[in-house]
Amino acid sequence: MIYLDYQATTPLAPEAREAMLRWLDGPGGTGFGNPHSPHRYGRQAEAAVELARDRVAALFPPGGRVIFTGSATEALNMALLGSEQARAGRAAAVSAIEHSAVYETAERLAGGRHVLPVGEDGLLGRIDDLPGDIGVVAVMQVNNEIGTIQPMVEVAQMAKQANAFLVCDAVQAAGKLPIAMADAVAISAHKLHGPKGIGALWLRNGVDLDPLVTGGGQEDGLRSGTLSPALIAGFGAAAKLAAERMEQDAVHIESLWQRARELFGDWTLNGSADARWHGNLSLRRDGLDVARLMSDTRNVAFSAGSACASGSGKPSRVLQAIGLPANLAKNTMRLGFGRYTTGEELEEAAAAINAAAQAQGA
């Protein structure tokens, strides 16, 4: 089986797995302690959590703090619903290609949701003026479906002019690119070779939120509940490795991108070829039945669109936002590759996919 679905999740780094094992100890071990307990077991677990917090924080710009969450979706909900501006009833401006964790959550705000359009290249155009009731701006750094990278410096300037709270979904950027500066940034461990079930919300110094989850007051009172030292240790190890390997990984992925563009030269690319993360290859082909293609190439794991929306039967909202009608959106596949993808795997996968597409007459 060849894995080419890195936007959905990434393989667990061996270093992250190793970091987790001690904190999964059973009877006779010392790693099962509650990190909020005052005895030695608890203090050891707490030390592991804080080491990991420092490692995750190192992925972000200076001048903020990391709050551990159960996922990036939870982190984005915390930021959007807990901000002072949202509580004051002000609206949120979000890009048309945001992940549902932002797009749908923003609609819950008392002030409602204002959608910022993108062009055929999947990028926000120049936005000179926002409606006067906008109090929150939410724009993702790297899109999960088509890989486009938004001009976050310009977005930050726009938010500042509107005196708006800026939220950034950096899930697909973390560990690959320097993370954009915002008031609140969400990331997820399993998208950078860490474990599932753990995410983080970075908050700029001076930012306060109302908590969504109350109880024991853990995580600066913003997210109550007992932390998992094992998941957090794995997250920290993955973050440390990503920071150390960022340049090396980027070189490897660029070589895969260049070869993939040759192997799929007669397919149409969705979104900008330049302002994008080159580990994301969103392609379409007229007349292609992607569901059948996936069935005919079962030795290759790839996506027909966003993993979060798979099985819904609905055309991708992101692809529609860049101007594709439903039939062309359904002709799209997404290949995602990364650190552990080999050139040989890419060659073999491309041969299988192209042969299956041609057999359809597409």
Query: Mind telling me the catalytic residues?
Result: 308
Q: Report whether 283 contacts 326 (CB < 8 A).
A: no
> CA 40, CA 33: separation in Å to the nearest integer?
8
Beta strands in the chain (DSSP E): 2-3, 64-69, 91-95, 113-116, 134-138, 165-169, 184-188, 199-204, 268-269, 280-284, 300-301, 332-336
Q: Is 15 exposed, middle or buried (0-12, 13-18, 19+ CB in 10 A)?
A: middle
Residue 149 amino acid letter: I
> CA 142, CA 338: separation in Å to the nearest integer?
15
Q: Is 274 exposed, middle or buried (0-12, 13-18, 19+ CB in 10 A)?
A: exposed
Place of tokens 């707490």: 46
Residue 163 amino acid letter: N
Determine how many CB atoms are found less than 10 A away from the CB of residue 266: 10
H or E stretch covering 27? none
Q: Which of 292, 296, 269 is nearest to 352 (CA)?
A: 296
**DSSP string for 252-300:** HHHHHHHHHHHHTTTSEEPS-SSSB-TTEEEEE-TT--HHHHHHHTTTE
Residue 304 amino acid letter: A
Return the half-sphere exposure (C-beta side, CA atoms, 13 A cut-off) of residue 137.
26
> CA 154, CA 299: separation in Å to the nearest integer?
42
